[in-house]
């Protein structure tokens, strides 16, 4: 057997396997080239998820015919002037993207340098098929058609046009976020799905690409340490999502995915955000090229930091400092010895009938009507604890507790910080987290209803239109029948909206928009990973959270007592849906210990 050099077209195909896995990866390479070419406007049009066609036009520096010929040769690049691969400042540097794409698709490049003429070169699966003058304004237009049409082994691994499109959108969103100076537009099958103007401030750009409301709910992060600069935008702890899909990290202008970010965010938000909620964050690290190796992954989406611990530390302190300045100081911790005396005590549920029962189904708690700017799911109990001024109310302390106080959770004596119910039991003092407790009760009610007749639904006076992105609508639409079992009646309303006709009756006047957005988030995060039963439970939990009496709501003493009585007869009511305790009790003996009487 003799050794031979592989012919050029085979080498290209092998490289294509690494660089161009799917339409989104081809698109990423082409748009990165436009950024490197100094473009101020980049217009992208794709058809059928990019499988049929990808077209990228820019107003960058362009290429003359000789450069164009070189650009299509493997390892030809204009971007490594002095061979210093470890100092690379441009997005591209390997010079293999264009030849790789050309080897597995029909690639056509039109380009015109400033002050020069336009030229075209078309290559079909590695073979030049056309070349000649072309008419276009200064800049470059790259068109890729029929990607992998002649490489069936590759085509087999592609997903549906919809998910390929979602991947393309993600690529453009990240690149547009990294380059707020450049105008981007994306059209899919003739419909515009993304458009941002050039010269935007970074926080405007991030808000435009994630969530418009971020514009009023963010802090600016800025920190410099040992030659590394951290800057960016992060959401306030009161503004968060059900999934961590809006968390972006950029290193020297390059979108990267790094596990380090997730841990650092947890650390930074630990005291101010519930564990199951996620901030929106776009962070930009700028550092000398020697501090980071970008050449560890063919698609350049992963990097290796020289000092990862330092970078993680910087992210945590940068975020904490920004949140502190915005007034979100981490919660003061009480003395651990005193806290240790407070313990959660399981109440074994008493059989229904043996206790005075609050008529749960007949008098549901009506959550506060949602205020226009804060969806109810943002009223996390821990964050809202920080915002309202401290206040307590209840029966005058002089009044003796009512007769026959044998309830395990006691009799309500007042409310603290509009969030906690303070009750007096025969054997001690009970504090209940009203939101966590009620959320649990609603979930259990919902489960009972699902085991029986299904959840009663209540038609909305006016059906409500909820605007979501197309991918989220695509996820919700096939679940309409399942959701109907929960009393939620939805239908598709055009490409990027859902029409809500009815809501589960037990949720009262919930925030429809917030509920639908959270359900879509749930499906995005867990859909394929869960069995039907698990998925139903997740839906129930999300709904329960929306139907629950919120932290921050003033409760009457009668309402408080009703909540306590219902907790006593509901299984699992000692823990909220996220595993945190819903109440704690300090026994008389413990109180004496606290005051040194024992
Ligand atoms: P790399 O980006 O790693 O250099 P590519 O194969 O992506 O490799 O591109 C090869 C070369 O083609 C680039 O170095 C650049 O000189 C030229 N080029 C590609 N796209 C453009 C564009 N849109 N405008 C100007 N020049 C371009
Ligand atoms: Mg490139």
What are the domain boundaries of the chain? 8-196, 202-325, 408-598
Give the sign of the dihedral formed by CA 241, CA 246, CA 251, CA 256. positive
For ligand 1, say whether the CB of 103 is within 6 Å of any of its atoms: no
Query: Average pLDDT, stretch 216-221?
Result: 90
- Across the chain, what does the average pLDDT equal? 80
For ligand 1, say whether the CB of 143 is within 6 Å of any of its atoms: no
Is residue 161's pLDDT more than 70? Answer: yes
Class of the CATH domain delimited by 8-196: alpha beta
Q: How far apart are CA 575 and CA 344, in angstroms?
A: 9
Q: HSE on the CB side for 440, CA within 13 Å?
A: 25
Ligand 1 mean position to 70 CA, how many Å?
9
Closest ligand 1 atom to residue 58 Cα is: 23
Supply the pLDDT for residue 312: 82
Q: Say which range, 299-308, 496-505, 510-519, has the weakest mean pLDDT.
A: 299-308
Judge contact between 32 and 98, C-beta under 8 A. no
User: What digits encode the pLDDT tens for the residues 78-89?
Assistant: 765 565 555 556
Is residue 363's pLDDT more than 60? Answer: no
Q: How far apart are CA 488 and CA 543, in angstroms?
A: 10
Residue ranges in 53-178 assigned as alpha helix (H): 65-71, 97-103, 152-155, 161-178
User: What digits encode the pLDDT tens for the residues 506-554?
Assistant: 887 778 888 898 888 877 766 655 556 666 777 887 888 777 777 677 8
**More confident position, 547 or 481:** 481
Closest ligand 1 atom to residue 61 Cα is: 25
Supply the pLDDT for residue 155: 84
Identify any residues that bridge with 393 across adjacent strands, giving them in sequence order: 415
pLDDT band at 441 (very low <50, low <70, confident <90, very high): confident
For ligand 1, say whether the CB of 29 is within 6 Å of any of its atoms: yes
434-451 vs 532-546: helix crossing angle, rounded to 10 = 140
Provide the token pair at 35.
Answer: 């950024």
Phi-psi region of 189 (alpha: psi -120 to 50; beta: other; left: phi over 0): left
pLDDT band at 366 (very low <50, low <70, confident <90, very high): very low
For ligand 1, say whether the CB of 140 is within 6 Å of any of its atoms: yes
For ligand 1, say whether the CB of 94 is within 6 Å of any of its atoms: yes
Provide the token pair at 514.
Answer: 């917030």
Supply the pLDDT for residue 347: 54
User: What digits encode the pLDDT tens for the residues 177-190?
Assistant: 999 999 999 999 99
Residue ranges in 392-511 assigned as alpha helix (H): 434-451, 470-476, 480-485
CATH code reported for the domain at 202-325:
3.30.230.10
- % of residues, the chain, pLDDT over 90: 38
Strands 139-145 and 53-58: antiparallel
Closest C-alpha to 375, from 500, 217, 506:
217
Q: How far apart are CA 267 and CA 431, in angstroms?
A: 28
* Residue given tokens 């009457």 in the structure block: 556
Q: Say which range, 23-27, 183-187, 399-403, has the weakest mean pLDDT.
A: 399-403
Class of the CATH domain delimited by 408-598: alpha beta
Ligand 2 mean position to 187 CA, how many Å?
22
Q: What are the strands, taking DSSP E only, across 136-180?
A: 139-145
- What's this model's pTM, rounded to 2 decimal places? 0.59
């Amino acid at each position: 057997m003799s050794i031979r050099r592989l012919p050029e077209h085979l080498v290209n195909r092998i490289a294509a396997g690494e660089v161009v896995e799917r339409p989104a990866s081809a698109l990423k390479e082409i748009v990165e080239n436009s950024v490197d070419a100094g473009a101020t406007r980049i217009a992208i049009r794709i058809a059928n998820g990019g499988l049929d066609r990808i077209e990228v036009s820019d107003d960058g520096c362009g290429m003359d015919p000789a450069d164009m010929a070189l650009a299509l040769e493997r390892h030809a690049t204009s971007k490594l002037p002095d061979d210093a691969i470890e100092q690379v400042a441009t997005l591209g540097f390997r010079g293999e993207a264009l030849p790789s794409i050309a080897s597995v698709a029909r690639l056509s490049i039109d380009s015109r340098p400033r002050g020069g003429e336009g030229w075209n070169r078309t290559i079909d699966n590695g073979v030049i098929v056309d070349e000649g003058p072309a008419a276009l304004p200064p800049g470059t237009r790259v068109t890729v058609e029929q990607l992998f049409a002649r490489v069936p082994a590759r085509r087999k691994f592609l997903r549906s046009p919809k998910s390929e499109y979602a991947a393309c959108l993600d690529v453009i969103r990240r690149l547009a976020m990294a380059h707020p100076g450049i105008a981007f537009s994306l059209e899919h099958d003739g419909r515009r799905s993304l458009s941002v103007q050039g010269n935007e401030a970074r926080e405007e750009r991030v808000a435009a690409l994630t969530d418009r409301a971020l514009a009023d709910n963010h802090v600016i992060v800025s920190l410099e340490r040992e030659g590394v600069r951290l800057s960016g935008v992060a959401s306030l702890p009161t503004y968060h999502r059900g999934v961590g899909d809006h968390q972006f990290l950029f290193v020297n202008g390059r979108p990267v995915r790094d596990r380090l970010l997730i841990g650092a965010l947890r650390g930074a938000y630990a005291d101010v955000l519930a564990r199951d909620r996620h901030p929106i964050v776009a962070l930009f690290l700028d550092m000398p090229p020697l501090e980071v190796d970008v050449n560890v992954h063919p698609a350049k989406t992963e990097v290796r930091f020289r000092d990862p611990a330092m970078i993680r530390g910087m992210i945590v302190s940068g975020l904490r400092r920004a949140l502190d300045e915005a007034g979100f100081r981490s919660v003061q911790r009480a003395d651990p010895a005193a806290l240790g005396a407070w313990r959660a005590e399981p109440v074994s549920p008493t059989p229904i009938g043996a206790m005075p029962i609050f008529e749960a189904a007949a008098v549901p708690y009506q959550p506060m009507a949602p205020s226009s700017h804060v969806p109810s799911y943002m009223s996390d109990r821990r964050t809202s604890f920080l915002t309202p001024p401290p206040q307590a109310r209840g029966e005058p302390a002089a009044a003796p507790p009512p007769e026959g106080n044998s309830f395990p959770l006691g009799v309500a004596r007042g409310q603290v910080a509009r969030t906690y119910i303070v009750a007096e039991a025969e054997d001690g003092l009970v504090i209940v987290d009203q939101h966590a407790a009620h959320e649990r009760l609603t979930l259990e009610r919902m489960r009972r209803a699902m085991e029986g007749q299904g959840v009663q639904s209540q038609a909305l006076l006016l059906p409500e239109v909820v605007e979501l992105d197309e991918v989220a609508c695509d996820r919700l639409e096939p679940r309409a029948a399942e959701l109907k079992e929960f009393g939620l009646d939805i239908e598709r309303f055009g490409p990027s909206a859902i029409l809500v006709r009815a809501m589960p009756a037990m949720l009262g006047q919930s925030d429809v928009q917030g509920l639908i957005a959270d359900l879509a988030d749930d499906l995005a995060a867990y859909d394929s990973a869960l069995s039907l039963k698990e998925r139903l439970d997740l839906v129930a939990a999300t709904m329960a959270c929306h139907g629950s009496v919120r932290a921050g709501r003033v409760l009457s003493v009668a309402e408080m007592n009703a909540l306590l009585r219902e907790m006593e007869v509901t299984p699992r009511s000692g823990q909220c849906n996220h595993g945190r305790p819903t109440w704690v009790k300090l026994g008389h003996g413990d109180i004496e210990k606290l005051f040194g009487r024992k």
